[in-house]
Amino acid sequence: MAAAAAAPGPGSGPGDSPEGPEAEAPERRRKAHGMLKLYYSLSEGEAAGRPSGPDPLDPTDLNGAHFDPEVYLDKLRRECPLAQLMDSETDMVRQIRALDSDMQTLVYENYNKFISATDTIRKMKNDFRKMEDEMDRLATNMAVITDFSARISATLQDRHERITKLAGVHALLRKLQFLFELPSRLTKCVELGAYGQAVRYQGRARAVLQQYQHLPSFRAIQDDCQVITARLAQQLRQRFRCGSWATSHCRWAPRSAPPLPPEFCLPALHLRLPSCREGGSGAPEQAECVELLLALGEPAEELCEEFLAHARGRLEEELRSLEAELGPSPPAPDVLEFTDHGGSGFVGGLCQVAAAYQELFAAQGPAGAEKLAAFARELGSRYFALVERRLAQEQGSGDNSLLVRALDRFHRRLRAPGALLAAAGLAEAATEIVERVARERLGHHLQGLQAAFLGSLTDVRQALAAPRIAGKEGPGLAELLANVASSILSHIKASLASVHLFTAKEVSFSNKPYFRGEFCSQGVRESLIVGFIRSMCQTAQSFCDSPGEKGGATPPALLLLLSRLCLDYETATISYILTLTDEQFLVQDQSPVTPVSTLCAEARETARRLLTHYVKVQGLVISQMLRKSVETRDWLSTLEPRNVRAVMKRVVEDTTAIDVQVGLLYEEGVRKAQSSDSSKRTFSVYSSSRQQGRYAPSYTPSAPMDTNLLSNIQKLFSERIDVFSPVEFNKVSVLTGIIKISLKTLLECVRLRTFGRFGLQQVQVDCHFLQLYLWRFVADEELVHLLLDEVVASAALRCPDPVPMEPSVVEVICERG
């Protein structure tokens, strides 16, 4: 056997080594070793022989395949003490019981499955026995059937060939019969109006007649068919031109028309036209005429021009109908009815024409498509012009609901022709019209808000003038301010709700980029809301013109009310309105918008200008009274004063009225601490705020000091008074500004007059009276004291005989006055 193993095999080549099988054995062992390693999930180290677990050949391993009980027991007796032996016994008994219990549980749980499997196997044995019997019978029957079929085929072989030949002859005879009857069939179809059936006959037979036209009989049939076909084409052209292709006659195969043999059947001619308008405008019928003419071999270019010309006539008729509705004589329908008429008439007809053209003249290629696009673009521009004329008539209406519905239907109707004629740009033009109308509506609402604001100001003017005319009290300034603010806010909310209809989800054009971005940010927020707020501020500032212009006719109470309105807008209303706008119109545009802080600053500046102008106007009114009272009196020859002049009482009354008026809209403000004797101070000829004593000594002729020098020294040390200082938003600041202007005017008027002794004393009495009442209106009572000191000192400087009145007498006269 060794020699046989070493000898080369019969198939060995000269280069084969006799040790080849022995060299292959280690390779096979390595493969087997690798498979075992993979099966037992051993690592490289474990496979190399390094111990990483129990030895599978160990006879003492309870779980190993080579377990030997005797060796295991001998090992335990040799290595374990008695206690460990008893523990091992106990543990082994426990494991045996656990295994018995698990085995018993397994048997109980699967008992039903075992029984079911046994029953299934028993049934399968019975079923297979029956199936074997049936298969045997089936094989027997198939053999019988095969035998019968073979005998029948052998019997009918000759007859089958004869039947096939006869069937072919019959089919040929039927074709020949149809060809010989073709002229009469065509004539009958033309008489019955079954033009489609006639075209189908001619189209199928044309190839056969062309093939056998060299035969005289077929040549005659072809000549007759050509004459009939020419007459058919003439009738189709006539019907196409006159547009009288009745729907009742558009029957491709009437019941009375001769049936077409199966051998000559063609697919029915059919146009897939969208149902764009109920009742039709004739376009489908004319398309059928064109389709039949094309099937008859008429030139496509000529039919294309004629088709568009006829369609132009029908669509221009629709445009003339729409234009007639815009005429001055009949009352124009509402915009919704107008767009419905245009959509169902013109747009529906254009949709039918485009679909029919593309179906019929698809072979024309890009040139035909461009011709159709130019046709649609020209007529569409005329239709859009009519729609814009009608929409322009709606600009005066304040309700947007009907207009938005009309625009929605207008935009929806143009979706179909826009998809069919993408090159014509009809959908884009319709979207531009809608956007343009939306911009115009925003401008209209802005004008409406401006008109409402001016109307509110007119109502305020009338309410302010009504008490003076009727002699009764009218609404207070606070009530008028609340009415104006609520009226403006309600108009803003109404405008926002109205323009919000353009962005409603159910509107077809609301998902366009313009209405999702620019319309919300630049249109509604900037143009409408921000534009109105700025317009309101500009209108309010226009009342601050010079007195000779518009501002001279403005009631001071209106200036005060507008200043408070702008201040309220700055503090809360502007932020509320813009927040409301941003919530209703979710802006998806990144365009820059006006910050709230900028608008608030503009409103505050407007309020400041209005309040400053109010102070100037009221100060001018009181100054005019004081100026006239000084200029119209002869101060040199006046009598000794016995009471306070009436004009001073009027100044106090008007100042008190202004104090009440301003207090209705503005808070009190902060005053400096007042001295306890403010109302008891009297004025001597040279008293001033810089003197140590409360009262200066009366002037005597032997006074050594020059009065001019004394006055100039007083001015050097006196505090400078800013008459037109900025006005704060409180009552004290407003009254302080008015009183400064009034007393400064009195001072300047006194400097232009010359006073006698009694004239100086009258000025002294008047100034003391003003001091008694005016100090409580200003922020700093020293301001009133300084100005009145200046007035009395100026009068003394311009008096040749400056003998002042005793302070006690001045107080008695003022208290009596």
What does the pLDDT look like over 686-732, one tens digit per residue?
Answer: 443 333 333 333 333 334 345 555 555 555 445 556 667 788 989 99
| b/e burial code for range 63-89 (CB count within 10 A of at least 16 → b) | eeeeeeeeeeeeeeeeeeeeeeeeeee
Q: Rounded distance, CA 116 to CA 122, Å? A: 10
Judged against a pLDDT cut of 90, whether residue 510 lies above it is answered with no
Judged against a pLDDT cut of 60, whether residue 388 lies above it is answered with yes
Cα 596 to Cα 275, 574, 593, 601, 659: the distances in Å are: 53, 7, 9, 9, 33
What pLDDT band is residue 243 in, cutting at 50, 70 and 90? low
Q: Among 616-620, 628-632, 711-715, which is the least confidently predicted range?
A: 711-715
Contact 350, 417 (CB under 8 A): yes
Q: Rounded distance, CA 135 to CA 147, Å? A: 18
Residue 403: which of 395, 347, 442, 439 has the closest Cα?
395
Pick from 13-17, 397-401, 747-751 the range whose average pLDDT is largest: 747-751
Judged against a pLDDT cut of 50, whether residue 5 lies above it is answered with no
Cα 722 to Cα 14, 411, 691, 741, 772: the distances in Å are: 131, 66, 22, 10, 23
Helix (H, G, I), strand (E, B) or coil at 22: helix
Of residues 174 and 752, the one with the higher pLDDT is 752
Cα 517 to Cα 162, 202, 511, 581, 595: the distances in Å are: 83, 61, 10, 14, 17
What confidence tens digit (pLDDT) does each residue in 274-321 have?
333 333 335 556 666 666 766 666 666 777 777 788 888 889 999 998
The residues, any chain, with a CB within 8 Å of residue 284's CB and separated by 6 or more, are 271, 273, 352, 356
pLDDT of residue 545: 73
Of residues 49 and 503, the one with the higher pLDDT is 503
Helix (H, G, I), strand (E, B) or coil at 780: coil
**Average pLDDT over every residue of 210-226:** 69
Triad 209, 212, 213: Cα angle to 5°: 70
pLDDT of residue 209: 66
Q: What is the pTM of this model?
A: 0.64
What confidence tens digit (pLDDT) does each residue in 766-812 have?
899 988 888 888 888 888 888 888 889 888 888 888 888 888 888 88
Residue with tokens 């040799």: 78
Q: Rounded distance, CA 462 to CA 476, Å? A: 13
Contact 629, 791 (CB under 8 A): no
Residue 468: which of 594, 376, 557 has the closest Cα?
557
Of residues 438 and 8, the one with the higher pLDDT is 438
Contact 230, 297 (CB under 8 A): no
Judged against a pLDDT cut of 60, whether residue 258 lies above it is answered with no
Structure tokens belonging to residue 192: 């019955």
pLDDT of residue 454: 93
Q: Rounded distance, CA 817 to CA 604, Å? A: 43
Judged against a pLDDT cut of 60, whether residue 252 lies above it is answered with no
Cα 427 to Cα 335, 412, 423, 430: the distances in Å are: 20, 9, 10, 5
Q: Among 250-254, 255-259, 325-329, 409-413, which is the least confidently predicted range?
A: 250-254
Residue 613: which of 667, 568, 566, 672 has the closest Cα?
566
Structure tokens belonging to residue 473: 């009290």
In this structure, the number of other CB atoms found within 10 A of the CB of residue 223 comes to 13
Residue 815: which of 768, 763, 762 has the closest Cα?
768
Query: Pseudo-torsion of CA 761, 764, 766, 770, nearest 10°?
Result: -170
In this structure, the number of other CB atoms found within 10 A of the CB of residue 664 comes to 17
Of residues 127 and 205, the one with the higher pLDDT is 127
3-state secondary structure 86-99: HHHHHHHHHHHHHH
pLDDT of residue 692: 32
Of residues 4 and 334, the one with the higher pLDDT is 334
Judged against a pLDDT cut of 90, whether residue 483 lies above it is answered with yes
Q: Rounded distance, CA 88 to CA 80, Å? A: 10
Q: Rounded distance, CA 350 to CA 283, Å? A: 9
**Average pLDDT over every residue of 724-744:** 88
Q: Rounded distance, CA 149 to CA 131, Å? A: 27
Residue with tokens 């009225």: 657
Q: Rounded distance, CA 269 to CA 296, Å? A: 12
Judged against a pLDDT cut of 70, whether residue 133 lies above it is answered with yes
Structure tokens belonging to residue 197: 């059936």
In this structure, the number of other CB atoms found within 10 A of the CB of residue 584 comes to 15
Q: Rounded distance, CA 221 to CA 175, Å? A: 13
Q: Rounded distance, CA 109 to CA 507, Å? A: 69
Q: Among 68-82, 398-412, 673-687, which is the least confidently predicted range?
A: 673-687
Q: Biggest alpha carbon distance in the chain? A: 176
What pLDDT band is residue 172 in, cutting at 50, 70 and 90? confident
Using a 10 angstrom Cβ sphere, with 0-12 exposed, 13-18 middle and 19 or more buried, the burial of residue 97 is exposed
DSSP string, 210-253: HHTTTSHHHHHHHHHHHHHHHHHHHHHHHHHHHT---GGG--SS
Q: Among 149-158, 583-592, 607-616, 701-710, which is the least confidently predicted range?
A: 701-710
Of residues 752 and 55, the one with the higher pLDDT is 752
What pLDDT band is residue 130 in, cutting at 50, 70 and 90? confident
Average pLDDT of the residues of the chain: 76
Using a 10 angstrom Cβ sphere, with 0-12 exposed, 13-18 middle and 19 or more buried, the burial of residue 462 is exposed
pLDDT of residue 14: 39
pLDDT of residue 333: 73
Contact 766, 815 (CB under 8 A): no
pLDDT of residue 585: 86
Structure tokens belonging to residue 687: 């008293």
Pick from 44-48, 109-113, 347-351, 706-710 the range whose average pLDDT is largest: 347-351
**How many Cα neighbours within 13 Å face the side chain of 499?**
30
pLDDT of residue 608: 94
pLDDT of residue 699: 31
Structure tokens belonging to residue 704: 């050594």
Contact 179, 218 (CB under 8 A): yes
**Average pLDDT over every residue of 67-78:** 86
The residues, any chain, with a CB within 8 Å of residue 791's CB and separated by 6 or more, are 743, 746, 747, 750, 763, 767
Pick from 30-39, 296-305, 640-649, 695-704 the range whose average pLDDT is largest: 640-649
Pick from 10-14, 30-34, 676-680, 726-730 the range whose average pLDDT is largest: 726-730
Residue with tokens 């008539």: 393
Cα 81 → chain centroid: 92
Helix (H, G, I), strand (E, B) or coil at 152: helix
Judged against a pLDDT cut of 80, whether residue 33 lies above it is answered with no
**Average pLDDT over every residue of 579-599:** 85
Contact 185, 258 (CB under 8 A): yes
**Average pLDDT over every residue of 63-68:** 81
Of residues 545 and 22, the one with the higher pLDDT is 545
pLDDT of residue 253: 36
Cα 192 → chain centroid: 60
pLDDT of residue 9: 41
